[in-house]
A = this chain, B = another copy of it.
Amino acid sequence: MASEPIRLSRSTTREGREKAIFEAARSVFAEFGFKGATTAEIAKRAEIPKANLHYYFPTKEALYRAVTEDVLTAWLEAASSFDESADPQEAIAAYIGAKMDMARADPIGSRIWASEILRGAPVIGDFLETTLLDWIKSRETIIRRWIKAGKLVPMEPRYFFYMIWATTQHYADFEGQMVALNGGKPLSNAQFEKAKAQVIETLLRGVLPAET
Interface residues of chain A, those whose CB is within 8 Å of chain B, are 30-37, 111, 114-115, 117-121, 125, 128-129, 132-133, 136, 153, 155-156, 158-160, 162-163, 165-167, 169-171, 173-174, 176-178, 180-181, 184, 194-195, 198-199, 201-207, 210-211
Contact = CB atoms under 8 A, between A and B. Distances in A.
Contacts of A165: 170, 174
Number of copies: 2
18 contacts: A31-B119, A32-B119, A33-B33, A33-B35, A36-B119, A114-B114, A114-B174, A115-B115, A120-B176, A121-B176, A121-B177, A129-B184, A132-B180, A155-B198, A159-B195, A160-B198, A163-B167, A205-B207
Contact of A156 (B128, B167, B198): B198
Given A33-B36, A120-B176, A176-B117, A198 B166 contact: no
Chief secondary structure at chain A's binding surface: helix
Contact of A211 (B163, B184, B204, B210): B210
A153 B204 CA distance: 13
A159 B207 contact: no
A117 B136 CA distance: 28
A34 to B, nearest CB: 7
Given A32-B36, A36-B35, A119-B32, A158 B170 contact: no
6 tightest A-B contacts by CB?
A: A35-B36, A166-B170, A36-B36, A202-B206, A206-B206, A128-B180
Contact of A117 (B34, B177, B184, B202): B177
A37 B34 CA distance: 11
A181 B32 contact: no
A146 to B, nearest CB: 15
Nearest to A119: B31
A128 B163 contact: no
B163 A202 contact: yes
A74 B203 CA distance: 28
Nearest to A38: B35
B210 A210 contact: yes
